[in-house]
Amino acid sequence: MSEAHAEAVKANLSGTNEPKNPDGLQTRISNSVEEKMAYTNALYQEYPVITTFVLVFGALSIVPISIFCGTSIFVLATFLLVSTGFALCSAFAIISAAGVALLAFLAFATIGALFLTGTAVGTYLTYRLLFNIRSQQIAEGNSGIIDAILNGTKCWIIEVRTALLREVQFVTGSTSAGETSSHPADLKMEDVKLALEED
C-alpha cells in the first residue's frame, strides 16, 4: 500500500466519520482516536516491520519514561522544599544568634554606662563637696574649721538637691518652657549664705 493510498484511507475515514456534535469533548476525542488508529493501521499495512518495532518500543518504554518523569519531579520538588526549609532554618538560627549577641552587648553597655556615669557623678560630687568646704574655710578663716565643714556640707546638699530636682523635672516633663533652673556650679555664695541663715 502506497502513501497515497494511506492518505486516501485517512481522508475517507475523516469524511465518513464527521462528528455530529463538533463541540462535544467526548466526540472529538473519539474521532481523534479513530483517526490515529486508522493512520497506524495504514502505516502497519505499508511498513509492518518498522511499525511493529515502534509500537513494541513504545509499549516497553512508556512505563520507564513515566517512572523517570515522576521520580525526577518528586526529587526536584523534594530538594527544593528541603533546601528552602534548610535555608529558612539557617537564616533564623543566624538571626537569632545575632540578636542574642546584640542583647548581650546592650546589657554590658548598660552596665558599663551605669558604672561610668556613677563614677563620674561621684567624682564630681566629691569635688563639689571639697570645693564648698574649702570656700567656706576661706570665707570664715582657718579658725572655724568645724563650721566650714558644716556650712560647706550644707551648701553641697543644696547643690545636690537642686541638681536632683532639675533632673526629676526633666524626666517627668514638669519644667515649663519659660522656666530656667540654675546649675549648681552657678549658685552664688551669697544665696547659699542666705539659705544657711534661714536654716
Dist. CA 183–CA 145, nearest whole Å: 27
pLDDT tops 50 at residue 132: yes
Element of type H or E holding 68: helix 48-140
pLDDT tops 90 at residue 141: no
The whole-model pTM stands at 0.46
Beta-carbon contacts of 10 under 8 Å, excluding residues fewer than 6 positions away, are 35, 38, 39, 42
| 99-114 b/e (C-beta count within 10 Å ≥ 16 → b) | eeeeeeeeeeeeeeee
Q: Which of 69, 72, 68, 92 is nearest to 80 (CA)?
A: 72
**Where residue 179 falls among pLDDT bands split at 50, 70, 90?**
very low
Confidence (pLDDT) at 131:
86
Helix (H, G, I), strand (E, B), or coil: what is residue 137?
helix
pLDDT tops 50 at residue 61: yes
* Residue 3 CB neighbour total at 10 angstroms: 11
Taking residues 113-126, report their average pLDDT.
91
Task: Read off the pLDDT of residues 10-35 as tens digits, 9 standing for 90 and up.
Answer: 555 554 444 444 457 777 777 777 88
Taking residues 138-162, report their average pLDDT.
79
Dist. CA 65–CA 52, nearest whole Å: 19
Dist. CA 105–CA 63, nearest whole Å: 62
Confidence (pLDDT) at 175:
54
pLDDT tops 80 at residue 164: yes
| Grid cell listed for 37 | 488508529
